[in-house]
Amino acid sequence: MSPPPPPLALGTPTAHLFSLLFSLTYVGSLYISKHSRLSFSTTTTHSNKGERQNNDNDNQGEREKKQSERWRDDPDVIRARLLAVLCTTTVCCSVLLGVVWADLEFRWETLPTTLAQTRLLLGFCLPPPPTLSVNQLLPHLITPTLFLGPIFSGYLGGQLPFQRNWIWENHVTRRFCTWVGVRNYVVAPITEEIVFRACILSAYHLSGASKVKMIFLAPLSFGLAHVHHAWDTYNRYGRTRAAAKRAIITSLFQLTYTSLFGFHTSYLFLRTASILPPISAHIFCNVMGVPELGWELRRFRAYRGAIISAYVAGVLGFIYTLPQWTAQSAEGSLYWY
């Protein structure tokens, strides 16, 4: 196996440009085709009419979708967007391969070395089953440790697999075996992690950026890439001032949450030099959703102390396991030096 390429003379500004290029390419691909673009009626109505009602109705639900409109959860829109991001991910990986190959002067005899080095940079490494060890599985258990609180609340509600309120049709078939499920739990986590983690962090690594910059700077593009959802929210909730307020608040929350998540998965990627732990963390977080501690405390009043303890244990366990369960991987990581 060829050794990974050393940092190139890209410079940090060039790495910033690559980060911007990858981000804009990924998000922009969602709007290139007419089949993947969203469309909304310019004259939207809501069940609550009147300016005063619109101002006071901050918690109103989505308005009724018109037949001529295209929303992001429409199956044909999802299919077109999945194809777009799959192509975009391939393009981004190819660009990185071109950067590595350029350093080897684009000679055909260096192409096998280029492919091997690019694969290592992107973290496309899956050890064969006979060599799998507990230490290689531990990084995938760090994120579930953080969610001990929500998992315990799910246990109290009988919602965990094969408990009394767990139904295969509702919890598996209707959730995962749909186009929305394929997008949320398969294609989006895989492609986003490859582009926003593997490709962008590889570019920063080749520029000689420090680990601190890669962990806390690179994920900001991932957070900003979700801001475009504000337009969707604004239209789906009626194009009112309340809808605009909801869109802004939701986007700011998404920016914060996705950036924090990006810090976590960037750390996992750099420590393990593998894209697999970030992908598994992304899928798990999408399945669990945002924790709702307040709602859980109201629902299970008799277990308030136990729920809070589970949340605290999850945070403390996460702080402990994050460096400990990635320690052995970091020793052989091409990024963690």
Residue numbers annotated as active site: 192, 226
Termini Cα distance of the chain: 20
Q: Which residues pair with 70 in a beta bridge?
A: 39
172 Cβ contact list (under 8 Å, min separation 6): none
Amino acid at residue number 281: A
The number of helix segments (H) and strand segments (E) in the chain equals 20, 0
What is the distance of C-alpha 200 from the center of its chain?
Answer: 14
The structure tokens listed for 118 are 């690019």
- Kind and range of the H or E run holding 276: helix 276-288
The rounded distance, in Å, linking the Cα atoms of 274 and 77 is 31
The rounded distance, in Å, linking the Cα atoms of 266 and 200 is 10
Query: What burial letters (b/e) apply to 15-51, b meaning 16+ CB within 10 Å?
Result: bbebbeebbebbbebbeeeeebebebeeebebeeeee
- Say if residue 256 is exposed, middle or buried (CB neighbours under 10 Å; 0-12, 13-18, 19+): exposed
Q: Residue 202: name the closest of 58, 64, 324, 100 by CA.
A: 100
